[in-house]
Structure 1
Amino acid sequence: MKTLTIENVALNQIRAYAKNAKNHPESQIQQIAASIQQFGFNNPILVDENLEIIAGHGRMAAAQVLGLDTVPVIRLAHLSDAQKRAYRLADNKIAENGGWNADLLRLEISELEQICGDMDVSITGFSDVELDILTMDNRTTADSKANNVPYIPENEIVTRPGDVWCIGDHRIICGNSLDAVTFETLLGTRQADMVLQDPPYNVKISGHVCSSGNIRHKEFKMASGEMSTDEFAQFLHKNFELCAKYSRPGALQYNFMDWRHMGEILSAGTDAFSGLINMCVWCKTSGGMGSLYRSQHELCFIFKNGKESHTNNVQLGKNGRYRTNVWQYAGVNAFGRHRSDIQMHPTVKPVEMLKDAMLDVTRRGDVVLDTFLGSGSTLIAAHQSKRICYGIELEPLYVDTAIRRFLEMFHIDAVHQVSGKTYSELLTAKREVS
């Protein structure tokens, strides 16, 4: 077998093969360039004795993008003309004939994510959608734990109005979701890539939210049945306008609502956003409160911000995600009941449902804004799906609930932005005083 030698050759001396049948889209060239930057030029370009490429047109294009002066090559001068032509085809086609062991691939990606540090796992060439599908396949058992909401005594509430908490890349502010200053403090110059939230429905919790045993939920501080139809529409409109301002053009706005207030949310959303994309129905496994009919569904109205195109990871199942506008997930009553009667947020959404919505229309590292954060289900879902959650919550109790819930699940403590102290440190100090 002939000994092969690697040599560095000026890039401008290498010639592309005029009849190269392999297409290299710009996105792939960028991937190759990123790979070279991350790992080095470890796969030399194969050329003939005249420096005409036999294999490596994509690598040459990537080298041009990177502005390289020289590249490593291996001369295959021993091949006949027929062999060169055959090898050009074989080098590409044979690689396409292989497949993946899905279980081992999932394991490898999962382990890589644990050790990769600042390195982006997409450097492997897998798209965000492919990575999401691989890493989300084994999530069912984790989701049952994700829906647990911790007990917090009233005398142990650490958060105060105006507090900003940093939890890794995530941020939560205890503030008013109708106040522009709250949005500015939380987001600054960042824009949300998606809004996913559950505004209050302007109905009293008592008598409308299904409880179990002695559970008695707290009423919301706003829109808990005290507003008229016009006042509630204005409430939603003011929030939607701020969500639009602090979202990128094309960002989709997911807002849950009950059937009683379809008119108000459609009116507010139509005014604030560019249009209604769809309305999804969350179909629960069991009915809740009701008069003639027990309520077994909630609605999610999806609006679009601006005229730019929105992210679509579903594409009618092209990427392996089969999704419809009927969402079937267990309601909160299907989860374990180890919660206090005043602590559990009355309208908790299942984490799996929120996660799926994020996977539909965002990419890894995107910002998901929830201006009615409640007990933090959006925060949990964002972290599990490699997204970033920015949350607003008016009730200090629920901010603490979200922080403790996250801490119990991921062992990551929140840091108070002003004092620099962790939530656990401040909680310990509070307990010592009391």
Structure 2
Amino acid sequence: MSSSSSNLKTLLLERLVRGEISQEEYDRMVGLIDEHQPVDAVTDPSDPYVSVTGLPTDPGGASSIVGQLQPLTADDRLGKYTLVEKIGVGGMGIVWKARHPIGEGDVVIKVLPPELSRDAVHLEKFRASFEIVRRLNHQFICPIYDLEHDPRVGYYLVMKFLEAETFDVYRRRLINEAGRLRFNRLLKLLEQVAIALDAAHRQKIVHRDIKSSNIMVSPSGEQVWVIDFGLAAEMRSTMALLSKERMESSGTYPYMAPEQWKGQRQTAATDQYALAILTYEMLTGRLPFEGDATVLCRCALEESLPTIPKVPDSVNDALTRATSKEPDARFQTCREFVRALVTENQKRPKSNHSKEPTDPEEQYQLGLKYYEGVEVPQDYEKAVYWFQKAA
């Protein structure tokens, strides 16, 4: 039995003793864990893509993080950066907007939990993950600049400040303003996310925590950035191992694939599963499954994704395959999943143009019209190529 399964059973037992779940619910969940846990599954702490899963006694964890930090205020300096304003508390700690001293633009500083500084092994593992992620140079991935240390607060991350809003906030704003989020506009954004994920996967980097709040969208809706690439998940796994008070997973419960719940190795297919859940959320305005960790674990292991009414069959078919219980049954790449959302008829309707344009600007404008949903060039692949090359 893997250590993650043992931890999950222990926490379920604690909930049973506290009266938070019934004996019947406890027996059913333990049976599910045993049924879906392979005999030879081993949680290897040295594998950066294996998570420690469990039910948190402190789901947010934010209060315990904040309480252990020396207070900072606006205009304080961390290294060469001047703090401007506190943005909030995220999965990795307190988040600040800060200013570069020589006018190179604003940055985001994430002050990490102080426990990280007290364990050399996990600190070194986090450093290694940071160095890998920092090498990701992609237009759809938020750049990470530095991992620094300050004696007042410990370690902190520095990354680019984005004039953007999270995917879910962008969706709500667009619906409030325009009454709907056009399917082709959504496809454009999802394809950018998929391109970013596939680029990382080619370098053997898995995000492990894809969700709407980890996708930033520019105000114009033309650009997305994937943030917290792998580091938030790494931090949660580290804190789960170091903390005696709570046990957290490497992902966010509603988006977690079956292999994450079972503490198995996470791959590119894990990110694809979360991207499919995100797609469902953006199409419907709600998550496919809701409830506490016990309910969400059961749904991930046993339930099929609910069908979305009034959408092409290709959408539901693609979502079903991308959320298959077995990772090998999903699409080969995230981009293949996004492409599968669109039927051949949707991809290649008749064009109003009698012939393909040869001027690069005309090609770009035609590709742009595809993404805006105005019309689709006859050659779908060329339209995508024209737009991405020009953009």
TM-score interval (norm. to shorter): under 0.3
Point out which structure has higher relative CO (alpha carbons under 8 A, 6+ apart). Answer: 1
Instruction: State TM-score, norm by structure 2.
Output: 0.24
Q: Is the strand fraction higher in 1 or 2?
A: 1
Larger radius of gyration: 1
Q: Is the helix fraction higher in 1 or 2?
A: 2
